[in-house]
Structure formats: C-alpha cells, structure tokens
Copies of this chain bind each other. A is one copy, B any other.
C-alpha cells in the first residue's frame, strides 16, 4: 500500500471515493448497531451487507474508470503495457 508510484488517482475521483467511503463507514456502523439488538433477524443483516457491497462496487467502479482513462489508455505510449494489463486482470478477477 505504501509503494511509491508515478501514476496517481485523479484528485476529483479521489475526493468522490473518500466521500462515498465515509458514507460506507457510517453504513457499517449502522450494521454494528443492528447487531447489538439480540432480536435482529438474519435476513435483515444480509440485506445491509449486500447494500454495503453494492456501495463498495460503485466506489470501485469510479476508481476503475479513472484508472482506465488516465493510465490504461496511455500505457502503449508510456511503454508499460504488460505491467498495466496484468495488474488490471489481477484486480478484476472474481470481481
């Protein structure tokens, strides 16, 4: 996670991702509160987990779109096609 890199996430996408992750954090806290109630119903918890996963998918999508636009489409010019493609295939696996 701390590796330095010459390619950076676009600042607008970064801000958008932060804003959404703050909301996701609040959603996780909401599920934690649900779980304090000993009469909580399994399926209600499952629905909330699914909703959080959907919200995370949307963060992933915006970061991916930004990566494609800013770094993948220019890989041939930059000369790092192999590295960019393999790294992307890895992260898309089981998406």
Consensus secondary structure, chain A interface = helix
Task: Give 22 CB contacts A-B under 8 Å.
Answer: A4-B39, A5-B39, A9-B35, A9-B45, A14-B40, A21-B31, A24-B28, A28-B28, A42-B67, A43-B67, A43-B87, A43-B88, A46-B60, A46-B91, A49-B63, A50-B60, A68-B88, A73-B76, A73-B84, A76-B77, A92-B92, A94-B94
Give the interface of A toward B (CB within 8 A).
1, 3-5, 7-9, 11, 14, 17-18, 21-22, 24-25, 28-29, 31-32, 34-36, 38-50, 52-53, 56-57, 59-61, 63-77, 81, 84-85, 87-89, 91-95
Q: 8 closest pairs, A vs B, by CB?
A: A42-B67, A73-B75, A5-B41, A73-B76, A74-B76, A18-B35, A49-B60, A9-B42
